[in-house]
């Protein structure tokens, strides 16, 4: 396979000035998200994932141990906020209130399962603006491992009413099933440690091009994990795994045809960007891509056609990829972090986008937060 072709760009007057020259897409509409409680302004300011299920939006922030549900009667205003404490559904190994760094959620409609994944990443300490030179260097030298970040599993709603009112759902949270945790580890990390390709990145912090899971999609019994890092000479990675439920309620990786690993890997030419989220669309995958490092840069949506039909690893180039949208982003604020299909009343689905580091333009403090809707080529 020739791997030098770039993703082909959809040539439409509404999104591109010249063939191959992108301009930023503009939202076609917005949703209002009304949060309540003590985290009403902190969690939605750092949203990392979103999923529409019937008349509800499920969203996750990357600095908590909760997942949030909002419901709507008009597909425009989302209220009746309930915050599910994941420590009641999973036996998390970290310290009390230690963040999960939840980065991906995906709905398995057939089995009534809401899949969740933490970043699985290490963290380098950030210097404070008023630090001395010595203190800044000291901070940058500290790398920490937070055990809760290794969550990979699902909430099982087959015996829990996800449509119930906020008080009832909070009182009776669904059961959770996950890969077993070790100290700063799980079965996925263990199998990646045997890889000559990925093992060198497991002990690097996420913002240093280390391992960082930020996207998730499910199809039948397969789970697709999109990596923000590492990006390998400009190529991003999607890991494809299958998880089976054991009799003790824990999950385990199903072996693949390859004896040396329990995952299938796909590498994609996304113009040097890492993966920030995934979304299944029929047999395709929509991919939100952005910079791996801490910087403002292109935020793009790609479509990988027939992605869910592959059983073997692929090098995916421009013949299978389309660059659909360039999304707007701000100066150190308003970074697109989560995408999902938004459907209402039988109309063509739109792309719903939520943001991390939300600015005043996305926040209406004391009232609501905004989420943007975009049209895109079908």
2 inside domain: no
pLDDT digits (tens, 9 = 90+) for 145-169: 889 999 999 999 887 777 777 778 8
* Paired strand residues for 21: 18
DSSP-derived pairing of the beta strands 29-33 and 77-85: parallel
Neighbour count for residue 203 (Cβ, 10 Å): 12
Q: What are the φ/ψ torsions at residue 171 (nearest 5 degrees)?
A: -75, -30
Q: Residue 5's pLDDT is what?
A: 46
Is the pLDDT at 10 greater than 80? The verdict is: no
Rounded distance, CA 275 to CA 273, Å? 7
Rounded distance, CA 154 to CA 106, Å? 9
Q: Residue 260's pLDDT is what?
A: 65
Closest CA to 106 of 272, 285, 307: 285
285 inside domain: yes
Question: How many domains does one find in the chain?
Answer: 1
DSSP-derived pairing of the beta strands 66-71 and 77-85: antiparallel
Q: What are the φ/ψ torsions at residue 278 (nearest 5 degrees)?
A: -130, 155
pLDDT digits (tens, 9 = 90+) for 266-318: 999 999 999 999 999 999 999 999 999 888 789 999 999 989 877 777 777 66
Give the CATH number of the domain where residue 142 resides: 2.115.10
Band (pLDDT 50/70/90 cuts) for residue 20 is: very low
Closest CA to 155 of 208, 205, 117, 194: 117
Q: Residue 38's pLDDT is what?
A: 57
Tokens of 248: 């003790």
Q: Residue 353's pLDDT is what?
A: 95
Residues of the chain with pLDDT > 90, as a percent, come to: 56
Mean pLDDT of 121-137: 90
Tell me, letter by letter, the H, E, C secondary structure of the chain. Answer: CCCCCCCEECCCCCCEEECCEECCCCCCEEEEECCCCCCCCCHHHEEEEEEEECCEEEEEECCCCEEEEEECCCCCEEEEEEEEEHHHCCCCCCCCCCCCCEEEEEEECCCCEEEEEECCCEEECCCCCCCCHHHHHHHHCCEECCHHHHCEEEEECCCCCCCCCHHHHHHCCCEEEECCCECCECHHHHHHCCCCCCHHHCCCEHHHCCCEEEEEEEECCEEEEEEEEEEECCEEEEEEEEEEECCCCCEEECCCCCCCCCCEEEEEECCCCEEEEEEEECCEEEEEEECCCCCCCCCEEEEECCHHHCCCCEEECCCCEEEEEECCCCCCCCEEEEEEEECCCCCCCEEEEEEECCCCCCEECCCEEEEEEECCCC
pLDDT digits (tens, 9 = 90+) for 339-371: 999 998 878 899 999 988 766 666 665 678 889
> CB–CB of 299/285 below 8 Å?
no
pLDDT digits (tens, 9 = 90+) for 58-114: 999 877 889 999 999 999 999 999 989 999 999 998 887 788 999 999 999 999 999
Domain span including residue 36: 8-374
Phi-psi region of 194 (alpha: psi -120 to 50; beta: other; left: phi over 0): alpha
Q: What are the φ/ψ torsions at residue 135 (nearest 5 degrees)?
A: -70, -35
Band (pLDDT 50/70/90 cuts) for residue 7 is: low
3 inside domain: no
Burial class (CB in 10 A: 0-12, 13-18, 19+), 260: exposed
* Mean pLDDT across the chain: 85
109 inside domain: yes
Mean pLDDT of 121-139: 90
Tokens of 275: 């993966």
Q: Residue 312's pLDDT is what?
A: 73
pLDDT digits (tens, 9 = 90+) for 231-244: 999 999 999 999 99
Q: Residue 172's pLDDT is what?
A: 82
Which of 261 and 292 is assigned the larger pLDDT?
292
1 inside domain: no
237 inside domain: yes
Residue at token pair 């701000």: 330
pTM: 0.90
Band (pLDDT 50/70/90 cuts) for residue 115 is: very high
> CB–CB of 227/214 below 8 Å?
yes
pLDDT digits (tens, 9 = 90+) for 306-343: 898 777 777 776 678 899 999 988 777 788 899 999 99
Rounded distance, CA 193 to CA 197, Å? 9
Rounded distance, CA 269 to CA 209, Å? 16
Mean pLDDT of 129-150: 91
Q: Residue 304's pLDDT is what?
A: 93
* Paired strand residues for 33: 78, 369
């Amino acid at each position: 396979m020739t791997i030098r072709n770039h993703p082909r760009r959809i040539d439409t007057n509404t999104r591109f000035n010249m063939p191959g020259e992108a301009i930023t897409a503009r939202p076609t509409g917005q949703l209002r998200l009304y949060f309540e409680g003590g985290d009403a302004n902190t969690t939605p300011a750092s949203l990392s994932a979103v999923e529409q299920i019937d008349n509800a939006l499920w969203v996750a922030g990357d600095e908590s141990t909760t997942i949030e549900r909002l419901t709507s009667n008009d597909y425009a205003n989302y209220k009746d906020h309930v915050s599910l404490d994941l420590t009641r559904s999973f036996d998390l190994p970290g310290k009390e209130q230690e963040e999960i760094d939840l980065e991906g959620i995906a709905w398995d409609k057939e089995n009534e399962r809401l899949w969740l994944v933490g970043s699985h990443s290490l963290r380098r300490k950030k210097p404070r603006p008023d630090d001395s030179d010595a203190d800044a260097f000291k901070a940058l030298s500290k790398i920490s491992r937070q055990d809760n970040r290794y969550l990979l599993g699902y909430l099982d709603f087959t015996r829990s009413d996800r449509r119930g009112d906020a008080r009832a759902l909070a009182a009776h949270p669904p059961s959770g099933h996950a890969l077993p945790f070790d100290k700063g580890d799980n079965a996925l990390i263990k199998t990646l440690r045997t890889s000559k390709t990925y093992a060198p990145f497991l002990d690097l912090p996420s913002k240093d091009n280390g391992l960082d899971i930020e996207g998730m999609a499910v199809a039948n019994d397969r789970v697709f994990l999109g990596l923000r890092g590492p990006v390998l000479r400009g190529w991003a990675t999607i890991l494809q795994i299958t998880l089976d439920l054991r009799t003790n309620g824990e999950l385990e990786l199903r072996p693949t045809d390859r004896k040396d690993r329990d995952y299938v890997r796909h590498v994609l030419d996304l113009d040097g960007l890492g993966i920030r989220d995934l979304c299944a669309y029929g047999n395709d995958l929509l991919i939100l891509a952005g910079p791996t490092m801490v910087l403002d840069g292109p935020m793009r949506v790609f479509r990988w056609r027939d992605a869910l039909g592959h059983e073997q690893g692929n090098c995916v180039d421009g013949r299978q990829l389309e660059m659909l949208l360039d999304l707007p982003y701000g100066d150190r604020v308003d970074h697109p972090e989560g995408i999902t299909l938004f459907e209402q009343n039988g109309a063509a689905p739109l792309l719903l986008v939520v943001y991390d580091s939300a600015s005043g333009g996305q926040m209406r403090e004391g009232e609501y937060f905004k989420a943007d809707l975009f049209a895109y080529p079908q």
